[in-house]
Amino acid sequence: MQTRWGDREARRRDIVRAGLALFDEDGLPALQMREVARGAGIALGTVYRYFPTKESLYAAMYAARLREFVGGIRQTLAGTDDFETVFVAVATSYRDMYVAFGRDLEVLSPVGGSEPVDPELFDAAVGVWAALRGIVERAGARDPDLSMAALWSAVIGLAGQFTTVRHELHAYSWDDATRYTARLYVSGLAGERDG
């Protein structure tokens, strides 16, 4: 299906799709503007009529993936509110994005950076964050926001640890480590409530 001359919306999608294909295949070094152009079936210069820099293309690719991430968490939350199950699901989705995008992940950050985000995505992220906060609150957190900061750090850290060679250090699987971390937090939060 050929994108028509002048169809800016379809052209933009073609470019982002071509970028993600290269990126998924061989990482950031493979994201070369000449290859993007080739994948999108256009000339090199045309890519720059849609994205003024390589970095802005990367940002668009990232936004596309973020949308999928938030959608996945929403689906999990629709099915359960068990702390451990939700923690493992969120951490696992996060890890998958981390593998691709690395340290610059801004997943679920409703405040966001300097650029205005798609409002629909923004609202979805805020909703997800509030739902997660509710689960933490029911687990006994005295200061749910501070607990969320700690929990979110655990998610980031597990992804970081199991994404490098470092994880070969110990014998624990992703699932074991993630579930154990969830239980440790539940126990710690229960201690806050009861202690």
Which one of 30-38, 54-62, 76-84, 179-187 is the stretch in contact with its own copies (CB under 8 A)? Answer: 179-187
Residues in contact with 139: Cβ distance below 8 Å, sequence separation at least 6, in sequence order: 83, 185, 186, 189, 190
Instruction: State the number of binding residues for its own copies (CB under 8 A).
Output: 49
Burial of residue 17, with CB atoms counted within 10 A of its CB: 0-12 exposed, 13-18 middle, 19 or more buried = middle
54 near DNA, rule: CB under 7 A: yes
**Token digits for 21?**
């294909």
- Which partner, DNA, its own copies, none, binds residue 39 by CB below 5 to 8 Å per kind? none
Least Cβ distance, residue 129 to its own copies (angstroms) = 9
Determine the residue type at 107.
V
4 near its own copies, rule: CB under 8 A: no
177 near its own copies, rule: CB under 8 A: yes
Instruction: Give the footprint of DNA on residues 6-35 (CB under 7 A).
Output: 6-8, 11, 31-34
The Cα 145–Cα 137 span in angstroms is: 9
Angle, helix 174-194 to helix 83-101, in steps of 10 degrees: 130
Which residues are at the interface with DNA (CB under 7 A)?
Answer: 5-8, 11, 31-34, 42-46, 48-49, 52-55
